[in-house]
Amino acid sequence: MTKTTDMSLLNSVCVRCHTGFRQDERIVNSHGEVWHEQCFVCAQCFRPFPEGVFFEFEGRKYCEHDFHVLFAPCCGKCNEFVIGRVIKALNNSWHPQCFLCELCNCELADTGFVKNRGRALCHPCHLKEKAASSGKHICYRCHGVVEEDMLIKYKQEPYHAYHFNCTHCSEELNGTARELRGELYCLPCHDKMGIPICKACHRPIEERIVTALGKHWHVEHFVCARCEKPFLGHKHYEKNGKAYCETHYNQLFGNMCFFCNKAITSEMMCTMSKTWCDEHFFCMCCDSLLTTKSKFIEFDLKPVCKRCYDRFPNELKRRQKKTEMASKKYGKNEK
């Protein structure tokens, strides 16, 4: 684009207004077309082009701002105009540097992607997600599915064991390999080092160790067989080769209080074919605490002290005795 007063152009007409030019008027010459200086403006905002820079589309000229607004797509991530190379994917437009894997943030513009649950993922991350949904592992090195007999975890990532060799004997590893202090060893070499193995996770125990049930455990892996909470040094109870916290041991194998229906952890009262916490064995009428030396009568499956029982109406006592006798007679007939 040039601005000129070339006399040879005076016989031309302005492309926009189709009128001629005066001798003292500056003429804009752009790619062989001539314009009045005031006619050479953006087709959208009708303002002069800043620094003479314009964009042309379908024969019309636009300033940079209006061209972006009208024709440049917005990036699906940063929401800025995309100038130059545009990535079209997932019903949106993207800057190449903004189109990233949603899990590892690597650029996908040149490597390709896989649509996974509405997300754009790189091929390795897609394989990991697919394997996770099927309960399998993907090798961190070759991205292939790892069968259980060849799986090892190294630095928290899954691998095919045959990608590594034993640090001590250099033999190719298999699924029995062990990691110790950041190095991998075959099982024979590891066992020669005398390192205990956790019964729960089957990994070496390098720090604090718990020895119980004839086995070794990481502190955080020695847990109650019922609630799975770590004991962390608290007392545990063993039964049938398993460890239990005090609460669940009593619930499963101990005595339950007839009154509170909780495990009895203190002194226990055994009477009337039931067990009671000693603080819960009291008269159902006056709430006075009873002991094994107290005189009490069973009434409606609950203890009543003799003093309260003596105050009962005679008719109530007679019905109680009839009920007891009928109950005993029924029990004999059943036998």
How much is the pLDDT for 251? 76
How much is the pLDDT for 6? 56
Tally of domains in the chain = 3
Does one domain contain both 229 and 271? Answer: no
Mean pLDDT, residues 82-98: 85
**Structure confidence by residue, pLDDT tens digits, 227-263:** 999 988 888 888 888 898 877 887 777 777 888 877 7
Half-sphere exposure of 70 (CA within 13 A, CB side): 16
- Segment holding 321, helix H or strand E: helix 314-334
d(CA 333, CA 328): 9
333 lies in some domain:
no
User: Which of the two residues, 101 and 207, has the higher pLDDT score?
Assistant: 101
Of 207, 226, 253, the residue that ends a domain is: 253
Three-state DSSP state, 9: helix
Mean pLDDT, residues 296-319: 83
57 lies in some domain:
yes
Give 74's strand partners: 81
CATH number for 242: 2.10.110.10
210 lies in some domain:
yes
96 lies in some domain:
no
How much is the pLDDT for 335? 46
Does one domain contain both 199 and 227? Answer: yes
Q: Six-digit token pair at 160?
A: 């095919």
d(CA 221, CA 319): 59
Does one domain contain both 223 and 207? Answer: yes
Mean of pLDDT over the chain: 81
The answer to whether 249 touches 234, Cβ cutoff 8 Å, is no
How much is the pLDDT for 53? 81
- Helix spans in 21-151 (H): 64-71, 123-133
Report the relative pairing of strands 242-244 and 145-146 from DSSP bridges.
unpaired
134 lies in some domain:
no
How much is the pLDDT for 1? 53
Per-position DSSP letters for 80-93, written without gaps between them:
-B--S--EEETTEE
Mean pLDDT, residues 150-178: 88
Task: Give the number of other CB atoms < 10 A from CB of residue 280.
Answer: 14
Mean pLDDT, residues 124-153: 80
**Residue 316's pLDDT band (cuts 50, 70, 90):** confident
pTM over 0.85: no
Of 226, 253, 280, the residue that ends a domain is: 253
Domain that holds residue 270: 261-326
pLDDT at 271 over 90: no
109 lies in some domain:
no
The answer to whether 145 touches 135, Cβ cutoff 8 Å, is no
Whose tokens are 């003429």? That residue is 27
137 lies in some domain:
no
- Backbone phi, then psi, for 326, in 5-degree steps? -65, -35
275 lies in some domain:
yes
**Residue 98's pLDDT band (cuts 50, 70, 90):** very high
pLDDT at 165 over 90: yes
d(CA 174, CA 158): 13
d(CA 161, CA 180): 15
154, amino acid identity: Y
d(CA 309, CA 334): 30
Whole-number percent of the chain with pLDDT over 90: 7
CA angle, residues 154, 233, 242, in degrees to nearest 5: 75
The answer to whether 98 touches 80, Cβ cutoff 8 Å, is no
**Residue 164's pLDDT band (cuts 50, 70, 90):** very high
d(CA 215, CA 223): 13
**Structure confidence by residue, pLDDT tens digits, 49-76:** 887 788 887 778 888 888 777 777 888 8
CA distances from 312 to 123, 127, 189, 285, 322 (A): 84, 79, 81, 11, 15
Of 23, 53, 71, the residue that ends a domain is: 71
**Residue 224's pLDDT band (cuts 50, 70, 90):** very high
Task: Give the number of other CB atoms < 10 A from CB of residue 245.
Answer: 21
